[in-house]
Amino acid sequence: MIEFVVKDRRMRYYPDDDVITIRKMIKGVETKHNDWRPIKFSSNGKGYLKCNLAIECRYTNLYKERLIYLANHPDWNIFGGTMINVN
């Protein structure tokens, strides 16, 4: 399990199951319970899986490939960086 953060949202990536979970928030604040929900991805029609998440109170489309890359490279800027050596 790899835990990482996208702005104000904590996420966990489980590489063995290829699942990404996100910490539940209510009104912009994390819940007191240790409640992690799996992220549901849908196809964008071009072969990529995307999700629509509230990041800093604004909904943002994020691609699964980029979230996995961020989990493995925590210093990378997901909103403006290009991925190098994607395996």
Question: For position 71, what pLDDT does the model report?
Answer: 95
Question: For position 85, what pLDDT does the model report?
Answer: 60
Of 2, 37, 9, 4, nearest to 21 by C-alpha is: 37
| Cα within 13 Å of Cα(6), Cβ side | 29
pTM metric for this prediction: 0.85
Q: How does pLDDT run along the chain (87 residues), one tens digit per residue? A: 999 999 889 999 999 999 999 998 888 788 888 899 999 999 988 999 999 998 888 899 999 999 999 999 998 989 886 766 655
